[in-house]
């Protein structure tokens, strides 16, 4: 162990050894970890709840190697990355809470998981093989969006001599240098000021593929579309729970009079939308991704152009296209996972987009 090994390092190592996803620390509260999506509490008799001063010392230890470490006392939040050498990387979020502080650390494995480990459908490889256009990965925070996207990009650079530029906040997975393709990773706040700056810079960096980070506002959407329209493959993440909801969320960034033009550009540039959520496996070990997959074909493109009249028909079109295109609705994939005995009916039902219809689909009404 290093000479400056700290209690927080021990906790992060414990998180890694137990294959947990998140470490949750708050002043005066018991230490908690998320494992397979569920919160697990360390009993107070094994590890006493940390005091205010102990949490502050943990934070100072985590940020000590930053180029310009912020002052902890008085801070409302701090975001950074932290690494335990030869163990794992962690995305750190510090928050002010109840006149003290809390820490949430998200574990990022050092090795990028492959398709088999993540149980990803092969069609995602086909989606990643697009040479241009826009690919969107949707889901809530903690749904595995970044992991899926990293696995897709890693698959590409293992097979093709391409240049990928990623804009990340913060950098998570590290891509190896021994592949036919190469990845230039840029971190918001360290290597660039904003996603907008990064997207502007990208067009001068000879990219074949651009990972545009999280789409949050109109300017980033417009720049991502412009990059896709000029012959690049652009991938981005969106906080949404369905394919239709992904488009609606992006459309909401535009004024009413701009939305028709936005839809026309999307119909031309969009290649696919993958929306996912992680649910516990039935055997109680690990989680599996439930996915809604939209691939733009002639039918979907027409539905996009007739958005106001046809948007509600997209889920049915995804289900009907499963055998030919590999598309699927979220509830359709839930049904397949229940029938495969991968997840429980109860977990599937409470997570269905349309629970009543799902109940009928499964013959439980």
Name the least confident of 78-82, 297-301, 311-315.
Answer: 78-82
**Backbone angles phi and psi of 321, in degrees to 5:** -90, 5
Distance CA 245, CA 247 (A): 5
Measure Cα distances from 53 to 34, 60, 72, 100 in Å.
Answer: 24, 11, 11, 9
In this prediction the pTM is 0.90
Residue range 333-340: average pLDDT? 96
DSSP category for residue 309: H
Cα radius of gyration (the chain): 22
Cα angle 49, 52, 57 (rounded to 5 degrees) comes to 100
Q: What is the DSSP secondary-structure string of 119-146?
A: T--THHHHHHT-SSEEEEEE--TTSSHH
Rounded to an integer, the average pLDDT of 54-64 is: 96
Looking at CATH, the fold of the domain delimited by 7-108 is given as Beta-Lactamase (3.30.450)
Domain spans of the chain, in order of start = 7-108, 115-361
- In this structure, which topology does domain 115-361 adopt according to CATH? Rossmann fold (3.40.50)
pLDDT at residue 326 in the model: 97
Q: What is the rounded average pLDDT of the residues 307-332?
A: 97
Give the tens place of pLDDT for each residue, 200-240: 999 999 999 999 989 889 999 999 999 999 999 999 999 99
| Model confidence at 284: pLDDT above 90 | no
Q: Which residues contact 341 (CB under 8 A, 6 or more apart)?
A: 282
Q: Is the pLDDT of residue 176 over 80?
A: yes
Please check the confidence at residue 167 and state whether its pLDDT lies above 80. yes
Using DSSP's 3-state secondary structure scheme, residue 233 falls into strand
């Amino acid at each position: 162990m290093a000479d400056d090994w700290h209690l927080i390092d021990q906790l992060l190592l414990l998180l890694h050894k137990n294959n947990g996803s998140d470490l949750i620390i708050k002043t005066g509260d018991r230490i908690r970890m998320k494992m397979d999506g569920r919160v697990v509490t360390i009993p107070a008799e094994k590890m006493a709840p940390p005091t205010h001063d102990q949490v502050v010392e943990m934070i100072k230890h985590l940020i000590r190697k930053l180029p310009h470490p912020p002052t902890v006392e008085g801070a409302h939040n701090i975001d950074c990355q932290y690494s335990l050498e030869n163990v794992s990387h962690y995305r750190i979020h510090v928050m002010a809470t109840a006149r003290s502080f809390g820490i949430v650390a998200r574990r990022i494995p050092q090795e990028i998981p492959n398709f088999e480990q993540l149980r990803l459908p092969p069609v995602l490889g086909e989606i990643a093989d697009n040479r241009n256009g826009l690919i969107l990965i949707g889901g809530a925070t903690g749904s595995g969006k970044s992991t899926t996207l990293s696995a897709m990009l890693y698959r590409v650079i293992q097979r093709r001599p391409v240049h990928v530029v990623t804009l990340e906040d913060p950098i998570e997975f590290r891509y190896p240098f021994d592949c036919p393709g190469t990845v230039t990773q840029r971190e918001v706040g360290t290597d660039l000021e904003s996603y907008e700056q990064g997207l502007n810079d990208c067009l001068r960096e000879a990219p074949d593929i651009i990972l545009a980070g999280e789409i949050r506002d109109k300017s980033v959407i417009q720049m991502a579309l412009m990059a896709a329209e000029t012959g690049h493959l652009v991938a981005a993440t969106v906080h949404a729970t369905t394919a239709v909801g992904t488009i609606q969320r992006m459309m909401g960034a535009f004024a009413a009079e701009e939305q028709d033009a936005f839809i026309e550009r999307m119909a031309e540039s969009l290649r696919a939308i993958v929306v996912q959520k992680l649910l516990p496996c039935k055997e109680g070990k690990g989680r599996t991704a439930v996915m809604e997959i939209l691939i733009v074909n002639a039918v979907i493109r027409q539905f996009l152009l007739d958005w106001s009249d046809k948007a509600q028909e997209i889920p049915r079109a995804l289900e009907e296209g499963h055998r030919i295109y590999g598309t699927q609705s979220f509830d359709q994939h839930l049904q397949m996972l229940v029938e495969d005995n991968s997840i429980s009916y109860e977990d599937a039902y409470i997570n269905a987009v349309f629970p009543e219809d799902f109940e009928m689909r499964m013959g439980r009404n």
